[in-house]
Amino acid sequence: MSAYERDVIVYVVSDSAGDTGDLVVRAAAAQFHPIVPQIRRAPFIADEAALAKVMELARSNGAIVLYTLVLPHLREAMVRLADTSGVEAIDLLGTLIQSLERKTGMPSRQEPGLNHVLDEDYFRKVEAVEFAVKYDDARDTTGIKKADIVLVGVSRTSKTPLSMYLAHKKYKVANVPLVPELKPPDELFTIPKERVIGLTIGVHYLNVIRKERLKALGLPDSASYATSERIERELAYAKAITDRIGCFTMDVSHRAVEETASIIMERIRSS
């Protein structure tokens, strides 16, 4: 049993939707894989009373708080509440806003949510996110022909997190799990191979990830799903499929989602 703390909770507090804080927590958490902190959002905070409730929850759960509060009076209230409650609270925007005010000589607009203006770009992102959810894990294979990118790979190669990350970059992504017992969708072999990205991973690394997943589900880590023999068979099957497609394949071992996504986007843009 590891001596490391595994039950880490982070509250993301915002006077807007909290997307910025959420992404920052996930980026930081990638450095501690396979430990995955629980992210609990507290969006659209409007007054000190709402802040106080969140801080009490954070205190009782031994959580960390990351906040993206644009309104100065809420930031000031957060500092006071963090001090009195003994909760570690990290200000993601305040210091930068103050520095920009000093540098520009101009006061900030103090309007939460300005980075979510409902323009065409925003709606394209929403559409891409909805697409990724609908066509996750090949629940509906018709999405394969409609997608900008199709991710294929064995279980726990970050297909779903990658799909969501790429969706926030406005790519429509479908992902397909490759399982020896299941015939792959015919659509995979009818679309341009440049739109398909194969994800592979080291046997030992995947073994560790799957064991952690089983533990998180309260199951014994000796299940066949996490054995090296099973993993080797799955990876060999997946390689046979990606070789048949002729698509680009990349190893995601020890790679953060952001790094993998960056390589995929560069590949798609240059194809």
Whether 260 contacts 162, CB under 8 Å: yes
Q: Is 160 annotated as a binding residue?
A: yes
- Sign of the torsion angle spanned by Cα atoms 122, 123, 124, 127: positive
Task: Please give the structure tokens belonging to residue 46.
Answer: 């409007």
Task: Report CA-CA distances (Å) from 234 to 14, 37, 156, 230, 248.
Answer: 42, 28, 12, 6, 18
Quote the radius of gyration of the chain (alpha carbons, Å).
Answer: 22
Residues in the chain: 271
Question: Closest by alpha carbon to 20, among 83, 74, 90?
Answer: 90
Q: How many CA atoms lie within 13 A of 28 on its CB side?
A: 14
CA 141 to chain CA centroid, Å, is 23
Q: Is 242 annotated as a binding residue?
A: no
Cα 105 from Cα 127, distance rounded (Å): 38
Q: Is 157 annotated as a binding residue?
A: yes
Q: If DSSP codes are grouped into helix, strand and coil, which group holds residue 206? A: helix
CA 240 to chain CA centroid, Å, is 28
Cα 264 from Cα 267, distance rounded (Å): 5
Q: Is 155 annotated as a binding residue?
A: yes
Q: Is 95 annotated as a binding residue?
A: no
Q: If DSSP codes are grouped into helix, strand and coil, which group holds residue 265? A: helix
Task: Please give the structure tokens belonging to residue 148.
Answer: 């900008």
Neighbouring-strand partners of residue 249: 198
Q: Is 203 annotated as a binding residue?
A: no
Binding residues for ADP: 153-160
Binding residues: 153-160
